[in-house]
Structure 1
Amino acid sequence: MVKGIAIALLLSGCSAQERLSYERENEAQVQPVIGHEVIAEHLELPWSIAKYGDIIYLTEKKGSIVKIENGLAERQRVELEKPLTSASETGLFGFVLAPDFPVSNLAYAYYTYEESPGQYNRIVTLRLDANVWKEESVLLDRILSGVYHNGGRLEIGPDGMLYATVGDAFESANAQNANLLGGKILRMNLDGSIPSDNPFPNSYVYSYGHRNPQGMDWSPDGSFYATEHGNRANDEVNLIEAAQNYGWPIIEGDEQQEDMVSPLFTSGSDETWAPSGLAYSDNMLYVAALRGSAVIQFDLETGERHEIVSGLGRIRDVFVEDGILYFISNNTDGRGQLQENDDKLYKIKLSS
């Protein structure tokens, strides 16, 4: 992995043309995966994938959760304490099952709601009761929200903590303001309290200087990766470390500055990925690309990247388990080109 990080950092110092030339020379070494299978269709703005055993749960931005078991999809009602917003890039986002889910029926969710004089994001627990998910407790509330850049991904890290990506709410200065939660990756105990070993005293902030981070995952050695939507392209895949400043809005893409972290991989200023969900498997990162309309595979050993899924439209989230890649299309959001029976949950077998 060290070699891959070194290559990525080297490329970050190259011009866009030099980086593109390197990637074209190397991408043929990674063969695309073929033979995808549709697991569910007619989804409505799916956003997040969660899985336990043979059951898959998908959040839908309009406020429902789809349960998929034995090839059958069931749309389950979600009862929230606050009214969901209907603005673009808002709604029901991140969703992760509690470690004891089979016993507790508990999950964690992130959503945007309306309340005078504006709108906010909140992180809550949901409990499944007779096929209805009911909001039970609020872990963190009144996170600043904008029409755009709400972040919204939730994951439980290998340390047992709950992590959340929060966008800058379309106010770029938020990302560098340590007193605001916007433009940050947050870390909390599963009861919503602040961990005693967080990098900043009495703060949920784990890392800052983010524009609109949307995907997170960890490798077995604890390395923490996240995706981020850039400005005017300049999309990023970052190696996240506690207390670090990832630069937005001071630097972006290939730019570098002392005491700020440049990305492992960037689209540069000539290409847009709009990266959303992220999954790690066997020294590879798999990234759901919305604008890029693909699943992009990043090789951490060689620094190569390749589109292993394309032609299915916008991809919102990815999940890998036992050599199977699951991913959801997001063509019903008004920005994609609709295909028959969209949106869909797919799976493919990754090459060994």
Structure 2
Amino acid sequence: MAHPTRRSAPALPPAGGSAAPSGGATPSAPASTPPAKGTVKVTATVATGLSAPWGLVQLPDDSLLVAARDTGRISRIDPKTHTVTQIGLVPGVTHTKGGENGLLGLAVSPDYGSDHLVYAYFSTESDNRIASFLYDPSRPKGEQLGAPDTILRGIPTGSLHNGGRIAFGPDGDLYAGTGETGQRSLAQNMSSLGGKILRMTPDGEVPTDNPTPGSLVYSPGHRNVQGLAWDDQGRLWASEFGQDTWDELNRIEPGKNYGWPTVEGIAHHPGFVDPVEQWHPADASPSGVAYAVGCIWMASLKGGRLWRVPLAGAKASAAPQAFLDGKYGRLRTVVALDDHTLLLTTSNTDDRGTAHSGDDRVLQLSVS
């Protein structure tokens, strides 16, 4: 783990407003239980022609940043003109052809208005790591992303099961979902950062109230976490790739164990927490999640569906409902802009999908 001294950010023109939630948005939600059935309408195509997009975040000026997994490129999307402009490359990114490693999740600093920092989770030849980058829009195009300030090294890496989602929680700390890279034992090894949900300060330090003193581990027993989101009560939800039997949506509690590799799906096994919902991998293979209108919204890759899970407290209040069933192919990242508006990325250029004209794209949805 590396904890370099935080550099001072130079004064920049304000981006406008306060920092938006990153990857796991927390918009206001109705106090009552949402209806069992909802609606989804695609209202706009925000961007096209993207290459294996992974992380997607909104900046305070309403522009978007998107990560290209295979190339390490971060680009800015203008939602009004739909133009996509490269702002920089993350150095040292490694991607294996046909694999899941590369430039993965993005997050925006809670103090973006003053520090102008963007965070990225990415794979190198030796590990997965998290770094912050100063984003300076006044610099020349393609050179607007500063040098990486690595806040965490040593997350296990491999061609598969790299996790990769990062998001700032309501507490201001940074959370990261990691994978066990196919080495199952790592998920239960508390000395490893693999197969966990991690919680850290914006500088990569261990918060004093983490479940285990001195440890970044927030919860162990995960196979491959690619989605993190908080509901309106501050409860953390995470999606998880299962192996061959069950994919999961979990309600994450600090210090609780989620069972992998001993269990997969709802098992009622002493000492492990069961998922709130489970799916066969052909119907899901979940990646990003977001919270809006009292529901968890989960993007699925193999399933090609956007799943709506209405909540009643820490439980589902009705059966999951599927939308977009295969219409746009593989779905990777979902971001809540407000309580009725989502952004959704496709993932058909990731070596596992069938790319069509215009892929990959960012869609805007109206939901209820």
Q: What range describes the TM-score normalised by the shorter chain of this pair?
A: 0.7 to 0.9
Determine which of 307, 312, 316 is the counterpart of 2:322. Answer: 307
Does residue 1:346 correspond to 2:363, yes or no? Answer: yes
Answer whether contact 2:72 2:93 (CA < 8 A) is retained: no
CA–CA separation in structure 1 for the residues paired with 2:39 and 2:109: 34
The residue number in structure 2 matching 1:11 is none
- The CA distance in 2 between the partners of 1:93 and 1:125, in whole Å, is 13
- Superimposed CA distance per residue, residues 295-325 of structure 1 (whole angstroms, 9 cap, x where no aligned partner): 1111113232111223110000001122111
**SS at 1:134 equivalent:** coil
TM-score with structure 1 setting the length: 0.87
The AA in structure 1 aligned to 2:323 is I
Counterpart-to-counterpart distance in 2, 1:91 and 1:211: 18
Partner of 2:348: 331
Aligned-partner Cα distance in 2 for 1:82–1:331: 24
Contact 2:152/2:204 (8 A) holds in 1: yes
Deviation at 1:29, TM superposition (A): 5.4
Letter of the 1:57 counterpart: L
| Cα distance in structure 2, aligned partners of 1:305 and 1:168 | 27
Corresponding position of 1:157: 169
Greater helix content:
1
Q: Tell me: CA distance 1:86–1:78, structure 2 relative to 1, closer, same or farther (3 Å).
A: farther
CA distance in 2, matches of 1:83, 1:344: 22
1:49-88 matches, cutoff 5 A: 49-53=56-60, 54-61=62-69, 62-69=71-78, 70-87=80-97, 88=99
Question: 1:350 Cα shift?
Answer: 1.4
5 Å-filtered alignment, 1:279-318, equals 279-301=290-312, 302-310=317-325, 311-318=327-334
* CA shift for structure 1 position 83: 4.2
Quote the residue 1:199 is aligned against: 211
Indicate conservation of the 8 Å contact 1:66/1:73, yes or no.
no
Equivalents in 1 of 2:324, 2:335: separation in Å? Answer: 14
Structure 1 counterpart SS, 2:148: strand
**Matching residue within 49, 52, 58 for 1:45:** 52
1:173 to 182, 185, 189: 185
Amino acid at match of 1:84: T
The separation in 2 between residues aligned to 1:193 and 1:50, in whole angstroms, is 23
Contact 2:76 2:87 in 1 (8 A): no
Q: Greater strand percent: which structure?
A: 1
Classify the secondary structure of the residue corresponding to 2:114: helix
Taking structure 2 as the reference length, the TM-score comes to: 0.83
Structure 2 unaligned regions, length at least 5: 1-34
Conservation of the 8 A alpha-carbon contact between 1:76 and 1:133: no
Question: How far apart are the structure 1 equivalents of 2:53 and 2:294?
Answer: 27
Letter in 2 for 1:305: P
Report the Cα distance in structure 1 between the residues aligned to 2:36 and 2:237, rounded to whole angstroms: 23
1:183 and 1:211 in contact (8 A); partners too = yes
1:136 aligns with 2:148: yes
How far apart, in 1, do the equivalents of 2:353 and 2:96 lie? 18
**Distance verdict in 2 for CA 1:196–1:326, change over 3 Å:** same
Q: 1:34 is matched by which residue type in structure 2? A: K
1:232-311 to structure 2, matched below 5 A, reads: 232-268=244-280, 271-301=282-312, 302-310=317-325, 311=327
RMSD of the TM alignment (CA)? Answer: 1.7
CA distance in 1, matches of 2:94, 2:88: 11
Percent identity reads 35
Q: State the distance in 2 between where 1:153 and 1:281 align.
A: 18
Query: Which residue in 2 is equivalent to 1:22?
Result: none
Output the amino acid matched with 2:67. Answer: T
Aligned-partner residue type, residue 299 of structure 2: A
Q: 2:200 is matched with which residue?
A: 188
Asked if the contact 2:55–2:104 (Cα under 8 Å) also holds between the matched residues in 1, the reply is: yes
Q: How has the CA–CA distance of structure 1 residues 268 and 41 changed in structure 2, closer, same or farther, with 3 Å as cutoff? A: closer
For residues 132-168 of structure 1, give each alpha carbon's deviation from its aligned partner in whole angstroms, at most 9, with x where no partner exists. Answer: 2123311111211111000000000001000000100
Q: Which of 309, 312, 336 is the matching residue for 1:320?
A: 336
- Amino acid across the alignment from 1:78: G
What is the CA–CA distance in structure 1 between the aligned matches of 2:159 and 2:96, rounded to whole Å? 10
Is the 1:183–1:208 contact (alpha carbons within 8 Å) kept by the matching residues of 2?
yes
CA contact 1:216–1:227 (8 Å) conserved in 2: yes
Q: AA paired with 2:198?
A: L
| Alpha-carbon offset, residue 268 of structure 1 | 4.4
Q: Determine if contact 2:65/2:77 at 8 Å carries over to the other structure.
A: yes
AA of the residue aligned to 1:49:
L
Contact 1:48–1:95 (CA under 8 A) maintained in structure 2: yes
Q: Deviations over 1:174-195 (max 9, x none)?
A: 0011111110000000011111
Equivalent pairs, count = 319
1:126 maps to a residue whose letter is: F
Are 2:107 and 2:120, in contact at CA under 8 Å, matched by a contact in 1? yes
Aligned mates of 2:310, 2:133 — CA distance in 1: 36
Contact 1:64 1:75 in 2 (8 A): no
